[in-house]
Structure 1
C-alpha cells in the first residue's frame, strides 16, 4: 500500500488530499500556507503511516514559483519524515497536471485540484524531483535579481534616448562616446539648457566636461565641438515641453546610475557566493564563460543529479524540439518548445554566443548551422549552438572536470 499526498498551493492556503493506492480518499483539508499548515500535513502523514504501514509515500505539488518553495523545502527536509526512509517530495510541471486534469469533465476548484494532483501521483508517471540545495537557491536569488535589473537598465536607457531625441535630436548620432557615461548623463540632465551650452565659449564647455569627467576625456575640445555642433543642428522645443523633457531626462539619469550601482553590488555578492559552489569552476573553465554566466547556469540547474541525462536537462532549458511522426511519415518541421526555464535558456544562449567567439569548435559548428538555411540564420544557429553547449555543461558538471579543448575540430555535433 502506498500513500499519495496532493497539495494545491496558493499564496495563502494549502488544499491537501490524502489518497492511497487503492484510490481511497483518506482525508481532504484546507490549511494555511505557513509552517503550521505544513506541520499539520507532516503529522497527518506520520499518523496515516502508523496506521497503515505504507511501503512508499509521495508528496507532490505543482511548481508555483515562490509559493511552493517553502512547503516543498519543509516537507523534504523534515527529520521525522526523512527517518521513515520512504517519503519522496516531488514538484511537477503545472502543464503536466493541467493536461491530466483535462481528461476529466468536472468543475474546477481547489479541493478538486488537490485530488487530481494526488491522483496524478497515484498513476506514478510523475517526474522524479531533487530539490535544490540552499547554496543554489541563494545564488539563484542573486543571479535572477541581476537579470531583472539588467533588463530594467536596458529599458531605462531606451526611454532616456527617446526623450534625448526630443531635446537634441542629432546628439546621439554625432557623439563618438556613450551618452550613458556619468559625465554625459550629468550634463544632459543638468540645469543647463541647450541654448546656454551653445552660447558657452568652447574652452569653457571643454573645461566643464573635464571637471565633470574628472579628467577622463582624452580630447575635451573635440567633444565640446561635437556637442556644440549637435546643438546648432537640432530643433528647439518650447519652454513648457523643454521643462518636461529635462525633468524626465533627470529622472532616468538617476535611475540609470542607481541601477548600474546596484548591478555592481549584486555582482560582488555573486562572485563571493560563486567561490563556495565548487562545480561552478568547471563551467568557468570554458573560454568565453565568465562568472556571471557560469553562476546563472549553475544556479538554475542546481545539483546535476536532479536530471537523469543531458536530454532531460535540455528539456528543462527549453532547448528541445518535439518530433512529429506517424506511420512512415516524419515531419521535417520540428519547432522549438516554449516550455522550460526561461532564465536558464537565456544564460545558455548568451553563453553560447560568447563561446563561439573564443572556441573554434563552437565557432565552426555555429557557422555550419548558419549556412544551412536562408532565413533566421543567426537565431537558429545560436539556439542549436546552445543545445550543443548543454551536452558540454552536463558532462563537466556530472564528472566534476574542467574544460579541455578538442584536439581536432569536427563539424559534427
Structure 2
C-alpha cells in the first residue's frame, strides 16, 4: 500500500503569485529568443561562412548590431575599413576598431560570392528578426526590474549562495511560498519530490521514488546542485569545492552519478530551507584546497 502523500496547504498570497507569473513570463520570452537567434544564425551562415570568427559570441550586442545592419555582404559592398571600423567602435563602446573591420572584410573576401537570387528578401528577414530579439531583450530587462523590486520586499537572501542568481531565487520563492508552512527541510524535500516515500505490502515496507512532488521545484534544486559540482569555466577549480568533494565521495562509495547528484540536491534543499527560515545570507564554509 502506498503511503498517503499530501502537499502542505498553500493559499497562495499575491506576492508569490505575482513573482511566479513574472518568472514564467521571463522564461517564455527567453525561450522565444533562443528560437529567434537560431533563425538568425541559420540565415547568416548562408552568406557569412566565416561568421563564427567575427565575434566570440554570435549574439553579443555588437554582433546583433552588425547582422542587423549588414545581413549579407551585399550591404558591405561600398563600405571601407575605416567606415566599418568606426561603426564597430561606436557599437562596441570602443572595444572593436578598424583592426576588427579589416579582419571581417578579409574573411568575407575569402568566402567568395554568397549572394542569392532573392537577396533583397533575405536581407529583410535578418533585421526583422533581430528587431524582435531586441524587443524581447527590453521586455526581459523590464520583467527583471519588476522581479527585483518584489524580491526586495521579502526577507530572503538566497542569491548569497553559489549557483543561485536572483531569477533562480525568485523561482524558488514562487514555488515554495511561505516557508513557515514547512516544519522542517524534510517536508520541503518531500514537497519538491526529492525524498522517497514509503510503500508497504503485507509485512514488507520499502522506499520508492517520489513522483508526486512539485517538479518545477525539483528541477530548480537539481540545477543548483549541478552548478555547484561543476568544475567551473576554466575546468581547474570547482564552483563549490565542498559539494564537489561530497559528490565524488558518493561516487567512490559506489553510488551512480544520478544517486550522487540526488544526495547533493538534498543538501541544497537543507541549505535553502535554512536560509529562508532564518532570512540570513549564506556563509560559505572554509574550503580545503580541493583540486578539480
Q: Could you state the TM-score of these two structures normalised by the residue count of structure 1?
A: 0.57
- Structure 2's unaligned 5+ residue stretches are 230-237
Alignment of 1:169-184 (within 5 A): 169-172=49-52, 174-184=53-63
- The alpha-carbon deviation at position 257 of structure 1 amounts to 1.0
Query: C-alpha offsets along residues 148-199 of structure 1, whole Å, 9 cap, x if unaligned?
Result: 2222222222222122212322212x12432323332232123664034255
Unaligned runs of at least 5 residues, structure 1:
1-98, 100-123
**1:345 aligns to 2:222 (yes or no):** no
Contact 1:198 1:232 in 2 (8 A): no
How far 1:253 sits from its partner (Å)?
A: 0.7
Number of aligned pairs? 277
Q: Does 1:389 align with 2:264?
A: no
Distance 1:303 1:227 in 2: 54
TM-score by length of 2: 0.77
Task: For residues 120-146 of structure 1, give each alpha carbon's deviation from its aligned partner in whole angstroms, at most 9, with x where no partner exists.
Answer: xxxx98554132222222221222222
Q: Partner of 1:147 in structure 2?
A: 27
State whether residues 198 and 231 of structure 1, in contact with CA within 8 Å, keep that contact through their aligned partners in structure 2. Answer: no
Flag the structure with larger Rg: 1
Which residue of 1 is the match for residue 235 of structure 2?
none
Contact 1:135 1:277 in 2 (8 A): no
Q: CA deviation at 1:344?
A: 2.2
Which residue of the partner structure matches residue 165 of structure 2? 290
Query: How big is each residue's C-alpha offset from its partner over 1:383-403, in whole Å with a ceiling of 9 and x where there is no partner?
Result: 542332012112332344443
Distance 1:372 1:128 in 2: 35
Within-5 A mapping of 1:47-58: none
Tell me, yes or no, if structure 1 residue 132 matches structure 2 residue 18.
Answer: no
**Where does 1:197-276 land on structure 2 (aligned, <5 Å)?**
197=76, 200-211=79-90, 213=91, 216-234=93-111, 236-240=114-118, 242-276=119-153
Mapped to 2, the partners of 1:152 and 1:381 lie a distance apart of: 33
Q: Corresponding residue for 1:32?
A: none
Which among 160, 165, 176 is matched to residue 45 of structure 2? Answer: 165
CA–CA separation in structure 2 for the residues paired with 1:128 and 1:238 = 62
Distance, in Å, in 1 between the alignment partners of 2:210 and 2:124 is: 44
Residues 85-133 of structure 1 show CA distances to partners (whole Å, capped at 9, x for unaligned) of xxxxxxxxxxxxxx9xxxxxxxxxxxxxxxxxxxxxxxx9855413222
- Find the aligned partners of 2:5 and 2:215 in 1 and give their Cα distance: 25
Secondary structure of the equivalent of 2:46?
Answer: helix
Q: CA offsets, 1:6-65, max 9 Å, x none? A: xxxxxxxxxxxxxxxxxxxxxxxxxxxxxxxxxxxxxxxxxxxxxxxxxxxxxxxxxxxx
Distance 1:245 1:139, change over 3 A: same
Contact kept, 8 Å, 1:317 with 1:341, in 2: the verdict is yes
CA distance in 2, matches of 1:307, 1:398: 10
| Rounded Cα–Cα distance in structure 2 between residues aligned with 1:285 and 1:218 | 32
Shift of 1:246: 2.6
Tell me the SS of whatever aligns to 1:166: coil
What is the deviation of 1:322? 6.4
CA separation of 1:159 and 1:397: change in aligned 2, threshold 3 A: same
